[in-house]
Structure 1
Amino acid sequence: MFGDMMGMMGKLKETQAKVEATKERMHSVLIDESSSDGLLKVTITANRTIKEISVDESLLSDKEQLEDYLILTLNKAIEKATAVNEAELAAVAKEGIPNIPGMDGLFK
């Protein structure tokens, strides 16, 4: 019984290390998003850190329009990055969860 418990604890520690490594790797996964007309482009990491914003000259003359473009495009990029981040972390967590009775549906 204690061997099983020690094995599960070891597996949980191993999974925790994999989760941390995955979080670090997400700093290098880049997500690109553009406005529908391509006038604004954003690059962020899967950890939702903005890396680059490219603004077409034509947007610089209308502050309100530029603000709208930034909000819409950044929100789309953040949604994509969040989905990638959550999927990666869920895959690592699911892979490392020991088979504990009653907990099999927890990460589905």
Structure 2
Amino acid sequence: MFGDLAGMMGKLKETQQKVEDTKERLNTVLVDEKSNDGLLKVTLTANRTLKTIAIDDSLLEDKEQLEDYLIITLNKAIEKATKINEAELAAVAKDGMPNIPGMDMFK
């Protein structure tokens, strides 16, 4: 009924290792985002770790404007990084799932 249970467990363990390797690799995938006018630039990893922020001097004169720029630009960068992260991890998980009848969640 369950086929090769040991084989499935081995495949799941292999998939778990691939997921961990992918998470580690995503630390090296960089996502760049900038404000519409280019006055603020941020870089995150695909694991959503902030790496750099570059702020044009003109933004330093207005605290509220700078805060708005940071919020908007960081949110866009986080959204991009999240999409990359989720797509990469879903691909690894789908590839590693054993063929269990009725468990076709990734179609």
TM-score (norm 1): 0.96
Q: Which residue of 1 aligns with 2:58?
A: 58
Q: Which residue of 1 aligns with 2:20?
A: 20
Gaps of 5+ in 2: none
> Cα offset for 1:107?
1.9
Gaps of 5+ in 1: none
For the residues of structure 2 that align with 1:42 and 1:7, how far apart are their CA atoms? 45
Relative distance call for 1:90 and 1:2 in structure 2 (3 A) is closer
Alignment size in residue pairs: 107
> Cα offset for 1:32?
0.1
For the residues of structure 1 that align with 2:46 and 2:21, how far apart are their CA atoms? 13
Name segments (4+ residues, structure 1) moved above 2 Å: none
Code of the aligned partner of 1:9: M
> Cα offset for 1:55?
0.3
Alignment RMSD? 1.2
Query: Deviation digits for residues 51-103 of structure 1, max 9, x if unmatched?
Result: 00000011000000000000000000000000000000000000000000000
For the residues of structure 1 that align with 2:68 and 2:80, how far apart are their CA atoms? 19
Does residue 1:46 correspond to 2:46, yes or no?
Answer: yes
Give identity over the alignment, percent.
Answer: 79
Q: Which residue of 2 aligns with 1:89?
A: 89
> Cα offset for 1:3?
6.3
